[in-house]
Homo-oligomer: A and B are copies of this chain.
Amino acid sequence: MSNIGSNADGLTASPSGACCAPLASVSLDPAAAADMAKMFKAMGDPVRLRLLSLIAAHPEGEVCVCDLTDLFDVAPPTISYHLKLLREAGLVDHERRGTWVYYRPMRDRLYRLSALLAAPDLTGIPK
């Protein structure tokens, strides 16, 4: 973070000069990368990815935690811990209604990640 200028799009133009290739054109700047990485990291655990998938796949658009715990081989506190990480990564939202707690996917954030991966240059800007 010194000779690299960035803009509001979270992109960075790399400096030229190297051993064998011209320049790195445009790519994610460190700040944007950190935010994206947090989301990817949250999905980087099999239990959390399955949790996210189950939440996103639910026809009602939300899932009660009580419906999730039985599907895994880990104890309820562990499920709670993973859901917390998914929340902190901004991938799911939650709401308490009565005794139960319901989780919803945050689709705008998921689409943003999808767009990042769909862009040939991984800049987050498709097309």
Contact = CB atoms under 8 A, between A and B. Distances in A.
Nearest to A4: B71
A77 interface: no
Chain A interface size band reads 35 or more
Given A63-B21, A64-B18, A37 B26 contact: no
A52 B122 contact: yes
A18 B67 contact: yes
Contacts of A58: 21, 24-25
A12 to B, nearest CB: 9
Given A34-B46, A40-B40, A49-B33, A54 B24 contact: yes
Contacts of A113: 117
A45 interface: yes
Most buried by B among A18, A66, A100: A18
Interface of A: 1, 4, 14, 18-22, 24-28, 30, 33-34, 36-38, 40-46, 48-50, 52-54, 56-60, 63-64, 66-67, 70-71, 73, 100, 105, 107, 110-111, 113-118, 120-123
11 contacts: A14-B71, A18-B64, A18-B70, A24-B57, A25-B58, A27-B50, A27-B57, A28-B50, A34-B46, A40-B40, A40-B44
